[in-house]
Structure 1
Amino acid sequence: MRNVTVAGTGAFLPGEPITNDDLEKLCGPLPADVLDGIQVKRRHWLVDPATGEHTTSNSRMAEAAARQAMARAGITPEDVDLIVVSTASPEYQLPTAGSYVQEYLGLERCAVIELRAGCVGAVQALDIARRQLADGTHDTALVIGTEAISPLLAPMFVGRDPEAVRMRDRLTLFNFGDGAGAVVLRGVDGPAEEHGYVNACLGGLRKPGMQVIGGGTDVPFAKQAQRARLMDIKLDAVGVAKYGPRLFVSALGDLLNRSGLRLAEVDALVLPEGNAEYFSREFEGAGLSRADYEELQSKIVENLTDVGATGSPAVLLALDAGVRAGRVRPGHTVLLLAIEASRYVYAGMSLRWPR
């Protein structure tokens, strides 16, 4: 088995940041305590907030993040022989968004794998790519998480009186953002370093924490066309706030155990929602000791405040921000940990950041 190393990271956020003040003018305010709880202050959307028109696309965002990661890794598209993409919001059911990234990079031949997932997808994608590089199936992989959520949000407010927007829709609007994150992985000669990986769904018998409804095959299309919105996001905010922290604590314990690490040995814990008050205030009640909770505070690497909840790219955007800010440095022991509200899924990976 070959060693697999991270060669570069990249990120792309569409348009100018949309502040909470900007959003309040579009859809009305959220109560101050709710706004403080979600901790999002800025987000980026690929739709024009005034008109709902698209300024770019999901796969174009993925391409932009990929090109930045390749530039930082010092490689060209011709070096890439595997692309693994995670998204829950592709332009089309088929062909895959990954195949469009391949097209935009000018690659006639390349292996492409796509996962239909949210927050956990990029970590799952990293593990798939890592295994195929380690066994020599491929040499260089682009792993991309990309999400275009704003097209689902625009119908909630475009052309409407802000005061007429429902409070539950405002909560969704203030939460989510678009973007793409990318990582270049390379298989290199030398002894393979240990990588821990965990993945589980804990919500098989539980009501989904989030659903994206429409555009599927749940009912005939004639019935879908009769819905108030062709596509919609349903968020069980109460359920996520209650059960999400338990999911995180289970995931963290599983990853540490699988990796053979103690929390004190971890230098950086990269996750999407490390500072959301509704989430972190419940950690102790979910079984995380006060000592471990305090130990975590200096290790968490995230950027929820600046990008919002972004789904598939969330961990990769936080990772790229952490690398740029010097929070993730050569030789660091890094945990990537994603949890997803859809069916209460988690995926985590431990790795040594390359020197």
Structure 2
Amino acid sequence: MQPPPDRDPVQAYLASVGTALPGDPVDNAALARVLGVNEEWIDLFIGTRTRHFARDLASGEVRWSLADLCARAGARAIAAARIDPAEIGFVVLGTATPDHLMPATVNHIADQLGLDQVPTYQLQSGCAGAVQALGLGRTLIAGEGHRAGLVIGGDVCSKHLDLDRDLAGAAPSDLVNYVLFGDGAGAAVLTAEPVGEAVALRRVLNRFTGLGREPGQVIDWFGLADRYDDRQAVREDYKAIEEFVPVMAVEILWELLEDLDWSAEELDYLLPPQLSGRMTRRIHELLDVPGATEVSCVADTGNNGNALPFLQLERLLGQMSCGEKALAVAVESSKWIKAGFALEKM
């Protein structure tokens, strides 16, 4: 039986992936000591074992900027693709935590990588930002005629956490932000022809679905006029996230499968949303694709936002063989975005 024709004229290939995690992993015991919280609560409620931070938890000193981490990941991706950096035709960054409002962090990254005279794009988004970046990169390859481009996702969440705050009386919904997140970056080289890893990016889903719904997460950027307000910089409705994200993940999975005309039995790998160790386990069970190998990383890396899909991809590429298919699902709870992508090894 002949495979159905690819109905989408947009095509690009994943040639390589590079990632960067700052410093040594911080386990739950060390985090509990610094924050003065219960280690057992972190183990049970979050289910994440370790995470990485761009700032020193003891001194509060910032050791890596987002641009530093993204440039390191980008350099590793370019080296792994075995292409001349001069072949990179564009740079796209997806992040929720830029280093500055201006200049855009993506331009600092390009500067560190020695990339000049290329278009740069910065997409400000949460967990869907990396998928949006992949989608834009795929379109630039097909629509603008670029032969290769660099797509990056990363976040430094720890800069929004007040380490001097007394957390003894903090509500679980507030405390979760201190133990859920980590920092990191990832990057991929996209190409017009199947080179390097030669994984076809078959579909990218990115859809806003939050019309009339309250945000599940808010990150404020304080200016001089409002920086002393009593509100916390990061606020999260964790109950809403626990309720809606698993349901949305199942919807994304089946929408992508239907759009691709793939059956669940054809999937070799499944990259589920990476919220926390506990939540990811629950979502993977609900997705119910027993024949597909789960590719997850959040229990070891922490929730580092837009770095996560690239960290999953790095693990995936070490396993994927010719003809195998993979599907990734991502949900952004800030204003409820469905996202995902499909891959096929050539």
1:13 is aligned with what amino acid? L
* Equivalent residue, structure 2, for 1:93: 101
Q: Quick one: structure 1 residues 46 and 123, their matched pair in 2 at CA, closer, same or farther if it must change by over 3 Å?
A: same
- The aligned counterpart of 2:113 is 105
Check whether the contact 2:274–2:296 (CA below 8 A) recurs between aligned residues: yes
Map of 1:188 onto structure 2: 193
Is 1:293 the counterpart of 2:282 in the alignment? no
CA contact (8 A) 1:302 1:319 kept: no
- Do the aligned residues in 2 keep the contact of 1:83 with 1:113 (CA within 8 Å)? yes
User: 1:173 aligned to 2:178?
Assistant: yes
TM (normalized to structure 1)?
Answer: 0.86
In the TM superposition, what is the alpha-carbon distance from 1:304 to its structure 2 partner? Answer: 0.7
Aligned position for 1:22: 30
For each residue in 1:128-187, what CA deviation from the matched residue of structure 2 results, as whole angstroms up to 9, or x when unmatched?
Answer: 11122123531111000010100012x1x23x5564655444311110010001100111
Match of 1:234 in 2: 235
Cα 1:171–1:97 shift into 2, 3 Å: same
Q: For 2:221 and 2:10, how far apart are their aligned partners in 1?
A: 43
In structure 2, the CA distance between the partners of 1:189 and 1:281, relative to structure 1 (3 Å rule), is: closer
C-alpha distance in 1, partners of 2:111/2:201?
A: 34
Other structure's SS at 1:184 match = strand
Unaligned runs of 5+ in 1: none
Distance 1:50 1:169, change over 3 A: farther
Contact 1:145 1:180 in 2 (8 A): yes
Query: Match of 1:302?
Result: 296
Unaligned runs of 5+ in 2: 1-8
Aligned residue pairs total: 335
Of 325, 331, 337, which aligns to 1:339? 331
Preserved contact between residue 273 and residue 280 of structure 2 (Cα < 8 Å): no
Counterpart secondary structure, 2:138? helix
Q: Is 1:60 equivalent to 2:68 in the alignment?
A: yes
Question: Is the 1:28–1:165 contact (alpha carbons within 8 Å) kept by the matching residues of 2?
Answer: no
1:240-261: CA deviations, max 9, x gaps? Answer: 0111111111111111111111
Give CA-to-partner distance per residue, 1:3-54, whole Å, 9 cap, x none. 5211110100001111100000011234746632422110001011011111
Tell me which residue corresponds to 1:38.
46
Q: Which residue pairs with 2:312 in the alignment? A: 318
Kept in 2, the 8 Å contact 1:10–1:65? The answer is yes
SS at match of 1:244: helix
CA contact (8 A) 2:130 2:153 kept: yes
Q: Deviations over 1:239-289 (max 9, x none)?
A: 1011111111111111111111111111112234287434554677xxx5x
8 Å Cα contact 1:246/1:283 also seen in 2 = no
Distance in structure 1 (CA, Å) of the matches to 2:140 and 2:54: 33
So what's the TM-score if we normalise by structure 2? 0.88
RMSD after superposition = 2.6
Task: Tell me if structure 1 keeps the 8 A contact 2:70–2:186.
Answer: yes
Question: What is the aligned-residue identity percentage?
Answer: 29
- 1:136–1:187 Cα contact (<8 Å) kept: no
CA contact (8 A) 1:272 1:309 kept: no
Counterparts of 2:122 and 2:176, CA distance in 1: 30
**Residue number among 330, 346, 353 corresponding to 2:345 in the alignment:** 353
Q: Does 1:139 align with 2:147?
A: yes
Question: Would the aligned equivalents of 2:14 and 2:200 in 1 still touch at CA under 8 Å?
Answer: no
